[in-house]
Chains A and B, each alone.
Chain A
Amino acid sequence: MRSTLIAFSQIALLVLGSSLLSAAGSRSLLHRELNLAVLYSRRDANLDFHPAPLFSSIGFEHLTKFADGTPGRLNPDATDLYVQFAYDPLDDRLETRFRDVWIRFVEPASGFRVRLGHFDIPFGLNPIAEPRGVALQPLAFFDLGFKKDWGLSVQGEWQNFGYETAATTGMGDKLRRRRGRYLWTGRIGIPTYRDVQYGISSLYGVLPASSLSRELKTSWRLSMDVTYLYHEPFTVARGELTFGADDGTTVGGFLLRLNQIIPANPKWAIETQMRAWRTGLPAAAVTRTEGVVGIRRALPYLLNLRLHWRHYFSSTGIREDDRIFVQIYYYGY
């Protein structure tokens, strides 16, 4: 109850803040979201109507773009408030999930930007304009357990490269900060509008040892990522390779993704992904490996239907499983 009140208070403050800033000739868009997902596990022989991390949910996103500011100083540039409300069957309550909650400032002449709030950390693959409702999850979910964090980032351009670095709290998608956590991330790479993009990124911080643990670990990572767009958006190939250490234990993983829209019938797309993460190299203490093959079909009324077959490979502490994931997704005005 308390966290729900806190969440709604924060939403109210952000909306109020946006409204006040809106006075200076801004434009805004409100999107509505509906996500209905169900997961069938062959091993457990059950249906899960709240499969993590894409819980069935309703939500909205409110984007505001402010008028051009004055060169030579930071001006309010944009705000984004993307919130989902999902039913949490474990706690039997409605959970408020903050996806994007940020305000951005820009120096118009140089394009230097400062962002404050909850956003994608600049580490690993980052899409140019992240589509909502994507079922293929990033490698960071296997590693850190989150891809978005609360904090502050700065963005800019250096010669032909774009860079972003962020100082965040290590809270991830949670609302309550635990003492001692922090995270620094940074990425430099080819701008995301090129057909071939690549970048390197790094991470250093103190994070929970596991999602259920109160113990902390000191982590660092180095990552290389590459994206190849062929006849965009028909073919998108992506790869990410990460290695690092948690309290001296070497860790690493990779992600390969290939999405292909069928040119002859562009209402259909094929989605494939393989990702793996190992803790303890070269002899793995824990290994998580997942392969996904699926199809996506566009429907009228801005709906998408998705069907995925996911295979979880057997490894230490993890039993082999096949899962069928079905999703109906709406995101529109």
Chain B
Amino acid sequence: MTGSLYKFTTTVTKTGALFGIVALLWLPGLWSNRIEAASPTVIAGRVLDAETGVPLSGANIAISDSLGTICDPDGSFSLNVPPGVHQVTVSIVGYGQTVQEISVPDGGLDDLVFRLEVELLPMDETVVGRLKMRLPVFTDVTREAGIDFQHVYGESPLRNILQTTGSGVCFFDYDGDNFQDFYLVNEGYLDREATEQPTNALYRNNGDGTFTDVTAAAGVGDTGYGMGCAAADYDNDGDMDLYVTNYGPNALYRNEADGTFVEVGVQAGIADSSWSVGTGWADYDNDGYLDLFVGNYLDFELWSPTVRNLVSLGEGYRMYPGPRDYEGQPDRLYRNSGDGTFTDVSEQVGLNPLVAKAMGCGFGDYDSDGDMDLFVSNDRTPNHLYRNDEGRFTEVGLWAGVAYDEAGHESGAMSVNFADYDNDGLMDLFVTNFIFEYNSLWRYVGGDSFVDVTVEADLATSTFSYVAWGGMVFDYDNDGYLDIYVANGHVHENIDVLSEGFTFAQPNQLFHSDGDGTFTEVSSRSGAHFIDSQVSRGVAYADYDNDGDLDILVNNLGDGPNLLRNDGGNRENWLVVQPIGGTSNRNAVGARIWARAGQLEMMREVHSGSSYLSQDDMRLFFGLGTHRRVDSLRIRWPSGRIDSLENIAANRLLILREGEGYVEYPSLSTGSRPN
């Protein structure tokens, strides 16, 4: 009996244990099945910077290891979850992680707001040059952004200097939605009718990281053999107009404020039919209307015999004639009459008869006397620096030390950038050059004098072996110091047959400012774009996604463009300032702004037309590093008026109106229009 009882008890115990084990094994599955069986509900909300309220694009929302999502560019998210209590983890690089418990009712939640505090992560820092930092990278998002533009120079191979010269790109907000649109200039076929030519292209920024080709609808599909462009509100009517330079008549597109443009170049008197290249707008006489400079290149006739000399071509070289084989053409300065027409005042103001071979141009008040001076980069002829003396220009390039390169040669100068690279409050000059001539960084030292500091800035050796075109001086990592981007590409398709190790397609370059007047090339660690090779020409920067850092658009010869999104530049603080003129020209071209944040002092100036055949975002970008506020900000308007502001919170758009005050936009991403 005892034995039977023992056997029974043992059997029950074993059976119970077995049941228990099976039940335990099944238990999670039962729970899981029960969750899946329940109807999911939607939770939605936004993730914001706790201090500034800026949406945090890309923030991670995690319910569990397998359930989560990432915030959209406007910081919003939505997620299907079952009703009940959940623990939500919200995180993004640069901010402290937050964990909250939420109770999700059957109807879901749509008003969740998570606010994250800035917190630098205790990660190892990348050491670049003398700076420790985490470097942003540029991601090529051309395809994802919906850009299918194709640059065409004609039938391959390149057969003349015309084909290899273009083209540029312009960032501007044509529809006033506060998102930067862009215009890509195209060349075309040399032996085809206008109806068979590819057109330039206007891409509208949809505000969500994508673009739509609106060329036809906007009426800006110029079929001229295109070179450059510059956008500005020349008629002060509140919208951005567009000027396009061509080999042949140039075009002026007047914005009709309804999403369309009308070509009025001939009526306005600025349909210059020379071979025009670089162009830019500035109010040289400070009358409140933007005037136009047009740089003209060579007296080149496509079907006529080559007017040839021995300098660039020698004899029997297996290359087409170069810039020395043609005469130059005179540049033009057109004064805006204020009634929609322009008058050629080139000779009247002192520009002619200085005939050279212009490529790029840039206005900038280098002598800080309140009027816009002009630098014209010339190809194989001395550069011109025109000092503006109350509306009369004096050419001082030779005396200023910027007419020739440091070896005394007329360089193959391309792009022009006036910028204060060393934060000393003075306007310096950066110019790109041809191969075997390093790019030139000239530091302004007062009076009419610049000093070539390219070698001291560590920019010489690394740029010697490239044909440099577009150049940008911009603060891509928001540390308060201006960095440099250079777009490269040779002019001869077969150069790699004929020479030692030089190629037609060449890698573009990025140089990070070390903050002490020197630069470190960071191309190899800044994204795949810098490893691949392109035949690049025009380049411009803009914060197209309004996330607080500067993105890049490159126009490539005979190829598609590169839209490079800056990922990580906004880890540092920033301030964007958009001045709007009242008495001054509406774009406030020539307005100068000084900003101070802690020990950081910066100076920026509004320009139209820069780099090579291109135009950057006209808003002024101040990288603030770790500073969360701008202590003081001072603006000198072209009219001479000076306004001051103090204690401005970072990471926002500040719209300054001459004589009226300012408006702050905590978030750039709202897409709202500053009226």
List of A residues within 8 angstroms of B308 by Cβ: 267, 298-300, 302
Let me know if B311 and A193 touch, CB within 8 A: no
Quote the shortest CB–CB distance from A327 to chain B (angstroms).
Answer: 10
Q: 17 pairs across A/B with beta carbons < 8 Å?
A: A27-B493, A129-B317, A131-B314, A131-B316, A132-B318, A134-B316, A233-B311, A233-B314, A261-B310, A266-B311, A267-B309, A269-B310, A296-B315, A300-B306, A301-B306, A302-B305, A331-B316
Total A-B Cβ pairs within 8 A: 110
Let me know if B496 and A300 touch, CB within 8 A: no
Q: Whole-angstrom distance between the alpha carbons of A59 and B494 in the complex?
A: 20
List of A residues within 8 angstroms of B133 by Cβ: none
Let me know if A300 and B305 touch, CB within 8 A: yes
Name the residue among A80, A104, A129, A234 with the largest chain B CB count within 10 angstroms.
A129
Contact A267/B310 with A128-B499, A162-B500, A193-B499 known, Cβ cut-off 8 Å: yes
List of A residues within 8 angstroms of B311 by Cβ: 233-234, 261, 266
Quote the shortest CB–CB distance from B134 to chain A (angstroms).
Answer: 29
Quote the shortest CB–CB distance from A308 to chain B (angstroms).
Answer: 13
Let me know if A298 and B309 touch, CB within 8 A: yes
Let me know if B497 and A78 touch, CB within 8 A: yes
- Asked whether any CB of chain A lies closer than 8 Å to the CB of B156, the reply is yes
- Asked whether any CB of chain B lies closer than 8 Å to the CB of A174, the reply is no
Interface string of A249-280 (1 = CB under 8 A from B): 00000000000010000111100000000000
Let me know if A304 and B494 touch, CB within 8 A: no
- Asked whether any CB of chain A lies closer than 8 Å to the CB of B257, the reply is no
Quote the shortest CB–CB distance from B402 to chain A (angstroms).
Answer: 18
List of B residues within 8 angstroms of A133 by Cβ: 315-316
Let me know if A329 and B497 touch, CB within 8 A: no
Let me know if A193 and B309 touch, CB within 8 A: no
> What are the 3 A-B residue pairs with the smallest beta carbon separation, nearest first?
A132-B316, A331-B316, A266-B309
Interface string of A230-247 (1 = CB under 8 A from B): 011110000000000000
List of B residues within 8 angstroms of A193 by Cβ: 435-436, 465, 499-500, 502
Quote the shortest CB–CB distance from B126 to chain A (angstroms).
Answer: 25
Q: Whole-angstrom distance between the alpha carbons of A63 and B321 in the complex?
A: 17
Which residue of A is nearest B320, CB measured? A333
Q: Whole-angstrom distance between the alpha carbons of A298 and B311 in the complex?
A: 10
- Asked whether any CB of chain B lies closer than 8 Å to the CB of A17, the reply is no
List of A residues within 8 angstroms of B496 by Cβ: 65, 77-78
- Asked whether any CB of chain A lies closer than 8 Å to the CB of B143, the reply is no
Which label, helix, strand, loop or mixed, suits the secondary structure of the B interface?
A: loop
List of A residues within 8 angstroms of B28 by Cβ: none
Interface string of B489-503 (1 = CB under 8 A from A): 000011011111110
- Asked whether any CB of chain B lies closer than 8 Å to the CB of A95, the reply is no
Interface positions, chain B 287-315, Cβ under 8 Å from A, are 305-315
Quote the shortest CB–CB distance from B550 to chain A (angstroms).
Answer: 30
Indicate which residue in A111, A132, A191, A301 contacts B305 across the interface (CB closer than 8 Å).
A301
Q: Whole-angstrom distance between the alpha carbons of A261 and B317 in the complex?
A: 16
Please give the number of chain B residues whose Cβ is less than 8 angstroms from any Cβ of chain A in the complex. 38
Let me know if A31 and B318 touch, CB within 8 A: yes
- Asked whether any CB of chain B lies closer than 8 Å to the CB of A157, the reply is yes
- Asked whether any CB of chain B lies closer than 8 Å to the CB of A61, the reply is yes
Indicate which residue in B312, B315, B499, B500 contacts A329 across the interface (CB closer than 8 Å).
B315
List of A residues within 8 angstroms of B318 by Cβ: 29, 31, 61, 63, 129, 132
Contact A129/B499 with A27-B156, A65-B494, A134-B315 known, Cβ cut-off 8 Å: yes
List of A residues within 8 angstroms of B317 by Cβ: 129, 131-132, 331
Q: Whole-angstrom distance between the alpha carbons of A97 and B502 in the complex?
A: 29
Q: Whole-angstrom distance between the alpha carbons of A63 and B312 in the complex?
A: 20
- Asked whether any CB of chain A lies closer than 8 Å to the CB of B324, the reply is yes
Q: How large is the interface on A (under 10, 10 to 19, 20 to 34, 35 or more residues)?
A: 35 or more
Q: Whole-angstrom distance between the alpha carbons of A68 and B504 in the complex?
A: 11
Interface string of B155-167 (1 = CB under 8 A from A): 0110100000000
- Asked whether any CB of chain B lies closer than 8 Å to the CB of A28, the reply is yes
Q: Whole-angstrom distance between the alpha carbons of A63 and B324 in the complex?
A: 24
Let me know if A129 and B310 touch, CB within 8 A: no
List of B residues within 8 angstroms of A78 by Cβ: 494, 496-497
Known: A29-B157, A267-B310, A268-B310; 20 extra A-B contacts, CB below 8 A, are A27-B156, A27-B157, A29-B318, A29-B493, A78-B496, A129-B317, A131-B315, A132-B316, A133-B316, A191-B501, A193-B436, A193-B502, A261-B310, A267-B308, A267-B309, A300-B305, A300-B308, A301-B305, A302-B305, A331-B317
List of A residues within 8 angstroms of B321 by Cβ: 302
Q: Whole-angstrom distance between the alpha carbons of A333 and B500 in the complex?
A: 23
Interface positions, chain A 287-327, Cβ under 8 Å from B, are 296, 298-302, 304
Q: Whole-angstrom distance between the alpha carbons of A28 and B494 in the complex?
A: 8
Interface string of A67-84 (1 = CB under 8 A from B): 010000000011010000
Contact A302/B306 with A132-B316, A134-B316, A329-B315 known, Cβ cut-off 8 Å: yes
- Asked whether any CB of chain A lies closer than 8 Å to the CB of B409, the reply is yes
Q: Whole-angstrom distance between the alpha carbons of A333 and B324 in the complex?
A: 19
List of A residues within 8 angstroms of B408 by Cβ: 231
Contact A29/B499 with A131-B317, A261-B311, A300-B305 known, Cβ cut-off 8 Å: no
- Asked whether any CB of chain B lies closer than 8 Å to the CB of A192, the reply is yes
Let me know if B314 and A331 touch, CB within 8 A: no
Interface positions, chain B 498-517, Cβ under 8 Å from A, are 498-502, 504-505
Interface positions, chain B 406-425, Cβ under 8 Å from A, are 407-409
Which residue of B is nearest A333, CB measured? B159
List of B residues within 8 angstroms of A68 by Cβ: 505
List of B residues within 8 angstroms of A65 by Cβ: 493-494, 496-497, 504
Q: Whole-angstrom distance between the alpha carbons of A257 and B497 in the complex?
A: 26
List of B residues within 8 angstroms of A269 by Cβ: 310
List of A residues within 8 angstroms of B407 by Cβ: 231
Indicate which residue in A31, A128, A191, A298 contacts B310 across the interface (CB closer than 8 Å).
A298
